[in-house]
Structures are given as structure tokens and as C-alpha cells.
Homo-oligomer: A and B are copies of this chain.
Amino acid sequence: MAQKGFNAYKMAQEQFEKVAELLELDETTRDLLMTPMREYHFSIPVKMDDGSIKIFKGFRIQHNDARGPCKGGIRFHPQETADTVRALSMWMTWKCAVVDIPLGGGKGGVICDPHDLSEREQENLCRGWVRQIARDIGPIRDVPAPDVMTNSQHMLWMMDEYQAIFGAQYPGVITGKPVDLGGSLGRTEATGYGLVYILREALKENNIDITKSTASIEGFGNVARYAAELFIEYGGKVISVSCWDQKDSCAYSYYRPEGIDIKELVKITDRFGTIDKKKAEGFGYKCCPGKDWLKHEADILIPAALENSIAKENVNDIHLWC
């Protein structure tokens, strides 16, 4: 969110226009798909721990449901905007369509920083979100999921509130629940693994032997870790990962040409995702500036942190296939 001057919705609409041109879509279809079909913006009053009530602004944007119930996450972020949610809901429509899943595209959000909220306040916020939108979501309407700064616990509160409102069991109202309460297996690994499945096929097409290839990865979160894990399992070598360093307020790229060891790194990573610099150096990693991740000599670059990380400004820094 909120890169200065960047508007995700505008970008998504421009992307759509380009493709619409290529597909020679008619005017009506363009008009229909250029903006969301239905948007819900609402206030959520939340009782805070100090007894006060705070008003949060929430959204649910249903971009299109021609192909099935809408699907898409709920984001908690202090810089959340309607436009970001609009863009993401649009992309959900495309993603589901491209892989031919009978679902449409939706996305939701709340302007808030969950780090500033106690667990109880988060629960109240989750329940409050559902209370404002309950009649317009559901298994045959629109199915939310976890997303930026929301997790399976948030989903459980939301499902519980939905079930209390309708007085029955609706496990299908939301995905990303805890596995033992109806959640899907493999959800955590899905993005990282999916990334590597595609990488594997791309390498095949280009006749590159994965067991002889090296990768430099940006990030060390859920996506990066599982991508690294599977890439290594397939025989590849990961020569660097990167992460944000809370203390130094900057990103570092940890580089070890003979290959990183995920388990080793995970052990020295705190719960905010920051790798312990000293210990990493002790394990033989070289700690470089974060932006160096694409300067390392590698066959493959995997940007698995934030969007738009490879751009005009830094494309010449790339040091591939050398």
C-alpha cells in the first residue's frame, strides 16, 4: 500500500485496458470489468480495552461474480484505501478466471494496524466487520480469506460471528480457518510452492537444469521461505535471502554462495521476521544491503517481498547468467 503517488487501482485499470485491447473486448464488457460490480464501505465501532469506542473504516469490494461467488482476502493495514482493495479485487477476478476456478473476485480490508490492537480488540474488530457485511457475504455469495496482517484466528472469529448471526454452521463462509476447525491443509506453503512449481516448468521450457541452477531471493517471509525450501528440495541452490531489520531500520540481504540453510536461518529469525545479523555472520552469511539481492550472481531472481521491487531504476543492477 501507499507507495507515494502509486495507485494500485489505476495500475490495475491500465493493465486491464491493455489486455482488453488485445482481446478486442466490446465497450460494455470493458465498462463492466473496469470498475467493481459492488462495493461496501462501512464504519465498525469497536469497544477498546480502555472502555472507549473507536470507529474503524472497513471495506468489501466485489469486483465480479459472473463466474461464481467472489473470493479474496481481508487486509488489516493502517494505509489501506478503497483503491487498493478495488485493485486487488480486480486481480482476484483475473486470477480465478485464468486458472478456471468457478469463483469471482473480491477483496476486503480495514484501516487499522493490528499491532496497536490487543487480542480482544482484534476479536471485536473481526466480529464488527462481519456484523456490517454478513448479509452480503457467505458460501454462495462471497468468501473471504486471510490476507495482509490477518490470520486463521481472525478468520475463526469472523466465521463464529457469521454463525451466531445466522444461527447455524457455515464453515464455507470463510477459508483460511485453523486446520483443525475446517481450514485447508497446505495453505501456508501454497504461495511459495506454487511459485516454484511454475519456476520448475519455466526452467524445463528453457532447458535449464534446476539441479545446477542458483537463485537469489528477496524476502524471508511465508512466500520466500517455502519457495526456498522447495527449490532446494528440487536440487537448486539458494545463495541469498533478504529481510527487514527492525533495529537498523533497513533491509539486509544475507548472502552465502555455497547455499543457504533454511532451518539454520529460521532458528535465528525473530517473530517479526528479522534474521539475527551477528548470528548469521557467525554461520558464514555475508550481510549486504537489502537492494543487493539482485546484484548477486544467480541464475534466478525471486522477488518474494513487496510488489514492484524490480523497476526501471534498478533493472541495471541485475547480475544474471554471468
Contacts and interface: CB of A to CB of B under 8 A. Distances in A.
A165 B165 contact: yes
B43 A40 contact: no
What is the interface of chain A mostly: helix, strand, loop, or mixed? Answer: mixed
- In the complex, which range does the number of interface residues on chain A fall in? 35 or more
A32 B120 CA distance: 20
Contacts of A182: 102
Nearest to A59: B39
Contact of A32 (B35, B43, B169): B43
A42 B55 CA distance: 24
B52 A132 contact: no
Nearest to A26: B52
Contacts of A35: 43, 55, 57
A54 B138 CA distance: 29
Interface in A35-81: 35-43, 45, 47, 51-55, 57, 65, 68-69
A131 interface: yes
B120 A140 contact: no
Interface string A123-166: 00000000110111010110000000000000000000000110
A276 B285 CA distance: 80
Given A41-B39, A102-B182, A169 B55 contact: no
A28 interface: yes
B40 A52 contact: no
Given A31-B55, A120-B51, A132 B38 contact: yes
A55 B32 contact: yes
Given A38-B132, A39-B40, A53 B28 contact: yes
Interface in A157-183: 164-165, 167-171, 182
A36 B43 contact: yes
Interface string A218-262: 000000000000000000000000000000000000000000000
30 contacts: A28-B54, A31-B43, A32-B43, A32-B55, A35-B55, A37-B43, A38-B40, A38-B41, A38-B43, A39-B39, A39-B40, A39-B41, A39-B42, A40-B40, A41-B41, A51-B120, A65-B169, A102-B171, A102-B182, A134-B167, A135-B135, A135-B167, A136-B136, A136-B167, A138-B168, A140-B168, A140-B169, A140-B170, A141-B167, A165-B165
